[in-house]
Structure 1
Amino acid sequence: MRITRQIVGGTAGVAVLCMVGFVANPDAVKDLGRRLSTGAALLEQAEGISQQVQNHKVVLAAVETKEKKAVSALSAGQEAEARLHFDSAEYFYDAAVRAAQRSLQRDPTSDAAMEERLRAGVALGAFWYHRGHMDKAEKVLKEAEVNSKSSTLSLLLAEAERFEVLGNVYRDMGRYKEARRQYETAEHLLGRSEAQDERIEATRAVLLAEQGWLLNKQEKLTEADNAMTAALKGLTAAHAGKDQEALATGRLGAIQHDEGFVSAAMTNYISALQTELAPGAEGYTPDAFETLQNMAVGQRDLGKGSASISTIERAVNLQKQQLEAEQKVNEKVEDKALMASLARSYALGAELLRRSDKSKCAKGLRWAHEALALQRRVDGDVLKMEQADILNTIGNVQSDLGRYNDAGNSYKASLAIHEKLEPNGNTATTASVYGNLGSLLHRQGRFQEAITMYEKSMKLQESVLAPSNPDIAVTCNNIAVSLTKLGKLEEAQEYAKRAVALVDESDLQESNGDKQLFSSTLKHIQGQIGKKAAHKSMRVQEQ
């Protein structure tokens, strides 16, 4: 099970062990400190946590049994995280940070002390990052900075890892310029070493993969594809490990999917999942669930509607099981990253259900509302774009159910969030909301208003999507249909021709038969033009 994405050369992860029975004596709380190599720090931490002793001691017993030696606070934290004992993980990681800080204060010039401080800070920062607490992760990682000019390989790798994880935090917070600076700084650090070591090459490949994902977030798809392809080759050549290769492979698939190369993307999703969902794994990261989500969309795009619903239901069930398992161990600790991932699965499932069968729209609406409730728990008082996306989905389902007023309100609520968080409105998701609002207006017979919304959608799509992206084809077809209703057949024909040409450039074949639908739209318009011309000719002859 991959708990954190650590750079090669970082602290090794601890395998998940079966839970062992351990009856703790509450009076033995201070024994925790004595059983750790960083005991002094733990003794100070031990007061007032007697209710958590059993979890802590279970972790220690497991690591002691395996390692046959004194347990470091860092390895105890990793074991606790692997066991989903997040309160214990936080406790031990924090103890590791405090102990490392004391060591550094005693000898500020020691490479070993600086590396210890970096490793502990990165472990705690990565813990908060993977739990979805970006503000805490940023604070911890910034505090872990050390003043080193050493070229010692292990220290350079530890420093590079801090910058890499901090870059990931900034990227996922949407602070892209800051993220790129962190990755570039890490690259610069690695250049200080003259050693010929596989770990350096592996680390460079990891950084390239993270930068490729950053480019994808910025919707620079061609650059992202090139970077991720090169990173994957580098990871394989440097023997970086199956987990890193699976992560890069799944992300390469997502980039190719956005480019419209669905079959190639599916091949990469399948490859990634062979590692991410390996038999015997007792827990999964959001990366595995994201790959399942992307695969479900890919199956839909290839016309495999039933398979896509089965895939997303699998994701939902696995996520619910993992969340329930975590909550049994940690009633007061919320795994925000997993909750947000489950919200995405529910929202995606709602879309897939409504597209597959109108009779499933009611279930789709329930899932969409589940998604919104979860996302609001994750976001708290902070308004985030994910809520806008879910409101867009709710509007889609309500529209399919004929609840047009409700759908219009949902779309407008979504656009309000977009306008607040993205004043320029220059995003593909904003384009999607405009397009959906256009479809709602078309259903209500308000064709000119629908065209206005479609045109707004297309303007955004053309500015942020690849030229052959199938979403643009959908918008062209929608405009053609609305123009036909207004009797503007020649103009409608041009849009319909463009829709057919665009969809022929990709291997898209959604479950509702978009390729056939676009061709049918074009044939219908051409038939109408032919009838109009024939009627006009007959009138001329009669005169």
Structure 2
Amino acid sequence: MGNYSKALEFYDKSLKIRERSLPPNHPDLAISYNNIGLAYDNMGNYSKALEFYEKAIKILEKSLPPNHPDLATSYNNIGAAYSNIGNYSKALEFYEKAIKIREKALPPNHPDLATSYSSAGSAYDTMGNYSKALEFYDKLHKIYEKSLLPNHADLATSYNNIGHVYDNMGNYSKALELYENAIKILQKSLPPNHPDLATSYNRIGSLYDSMGNYSKALEFYDKSLEIRENSLPSNHPNLATSYNSIGLAYNNMGNYPKALEFYDKSLEIREEALPPNHPDLATSYHSIGLAYNNMGNYPKALEFYDESVEIREEALPPNHPDLATSYHSIGLANNNMGNYSKALEFYDKSLEIRENALPQSHPDLATSYNNIAHVYDNMGNYLKALEFYFQQQHRCSVLQHR
């Protein structure tokens, strides 16, 4: 039903009884702590969730054998909480503990193993390690294909996850195929206001945004937002995701004041709900920077880009595509201000990451080559400009024949 505050009320009553009647290391106390953690998790209060998950794990590590499935569940929950606050390397540490137990203790098609593979795949996807993400998502999908009916909602989630990796890799046709597989299942198997449908609609919207079909993107973003506004608390991070997505579409359509209106809504939630070094905050700052850049206010754009890149350099691995995006945007603002040497410095940093992290057919590579060529053109170095324009043309031909 999703009434998490009511759930918390009853979990608290249960906990008070157990704290009075049980010894402090009793497994039933761990169950209470875990349930309260889950409720806070679902409400988007991830630091509070982590506090209760850690209380649970302290009891379970003392009272259960080291390969017990309940330990794996707790490790996975702690991993999810770290993932939600943006600490993906810490999340993977706990996900791997859970996987190690579950691969030994459970049959190979057990749903809990599927949960672990899904969690690890998501963390690797967010960290920009797409091959590793696909490895875990493929393991997950094989379990679901063997154990679930073809219209099961979890199978749709699996299609969504794999589609998201292909989306991040720039393979939009493959991503759309997988997203559409997912949405067909979800529309049959879930009520029309289910949060998983909102996630699917938002992802399809994001894909259309990347493909340049902004009106189609807005259509799906609006579907997603309608569900989230009706089913989530007003400060939930997923609402911030919807507002940011809608802002991005308006930005791409050239409606910058409207874009800023939605970016500000997103930022307000994220600043309240997330820790100050969370990657989603960096996304908000970067989005606002983009709008100011497009409005010609380059110093204001750089102010927000700097806030974004500061978080990303701290929170993400050094070869993450989002860092490349930040460097590219800072380069673009400097280019627009006529600071060509500074622009080249950041374009080069961006290109180095993209050449190492992205498939050779990714459209962002073509954008990098084109913009570097443009700077050399502005500087009067036409031979160097031609070199990068040819690189850009090559990437475009790869994209057309992919």
- Bin for the TM-score computed over the shorter chain: 0.7 to 0.9
Return the offset for 1:476: 0.7
Return the offset for 1:415: 2.8
Per-residue displacement from partner, 1:79-117 (whole Å, max 9, x unpaired)?
A: xxxxxxxxxxxxxxxxxxxxxxxxxxxxxxxxxxxxxxx
Matched, 1:345 2:211: no
Distance 1:444 1:222, change over 3 A: same
Matched, 1:261 2:129: yes
Q: Matches of 1:437 and 1:413 in 2, distance apart? A: 11
Q: What residue is the counterpart of 1:408 in the other structure?
A: 260
Q: Percent identity?
A: 20
Per-residue displacement from partner, 1:429-452 (whole Å, max 9, x unpaired)?
A: 232222223223333333333333
Q: What residue is the counterpart of 2:22 in the other structure?
A: 148
TM-score (norm 2): 0.83
Matched, 1:323 2:197: no
Distance 1:532 1:233, change over 3 A: same
Distance 1:510 1:452, change over 3 A: farther
Q: What residue is the counterpart of 1:172 in the other structure?
A: 42
Return the offset for 1:489: 0.8
TM-score (norm 1): 0.63
The worse-fitting range, judged by mean Cα deviation, of 440-449 and 222-231 is: 440-449
Return the offset for 1:182: 3.1
Matched, 1:298 2:165: yes
Q: Matches of 1:300 and 1:150 in 2, distance apart? A: 48
Q: What residue is the counterpart of 1:8 in the other structure?
A: none
The structure number with the bigger radius of gyration is 1
Q: What residue is the counterpart of 1:125 in the other structure?
A: none
Distance 1:521 1:401, change over 3 A: closer
Matched, 1:394 2:246: yes
Contact 2:61 2:71 in 1 (8 A): no
Return the offset for 1:484: 1.5
**Letter matched to residue 86 of structure 2:** E
RMSD, aligned CA: 3.1
- Residue 217 of structure 1, aligned match among 64, 67, 84: 84
Per-residue displacement from partner, 1:185-204 (whole Å, max 9, x unpaired)?
A: 4334345548x6x8x62222
Q: Matches of 1:399 and 1:471 in 2, distance apart? A: 18
Matched, 1:479 2:334: no
1:46-445 paired onto structure 2 within 5 Å: 131-145=1-15, 146=18, 147-149=21-23, 159-191=29-61, 193=63, 201-239=68-106, 242-276=110-144, 278=146, 281=149, 284=152, 289-324=156-191, 339-356=194-211, 358=212, 360-379=213-232, 382-421=234-273, 426-445=277-296
Q: Matches of 1:221 and 1:465 in 2, distance apart? A: 8
Secondary structure, counterpart of 1:402 in structure 2: coil
Distance 1:368 1:249, change over 3 A: same
**Letter matched to residue 189 of structure 1:** I
Contact 1:391 1:410 in 2 (8 A): yes
Matched, 1:519 2:389: no
Contact 1:212 1:228 in 2 (8 A): yes
Contact 1:300 1:511 in 2 (8 A): no
Return the offset for 1:150: 10
Per-residue displacement from partner, 1:162-181 (whole Å, max 9, x unpaired)?
A: 43333222333344454334
**Letter matched to residue 366 of structure 1:** E
Distance 1:139 1:278, change over 3 A: farther
Secondary structure, counterpart of 2:2 in structure 1: coil
- Residue 447 of structure 1, aligned match among 298, 319, 324: 298
Q: Matches of 1:281 and 1:158 in 2, distance apart? A: 34
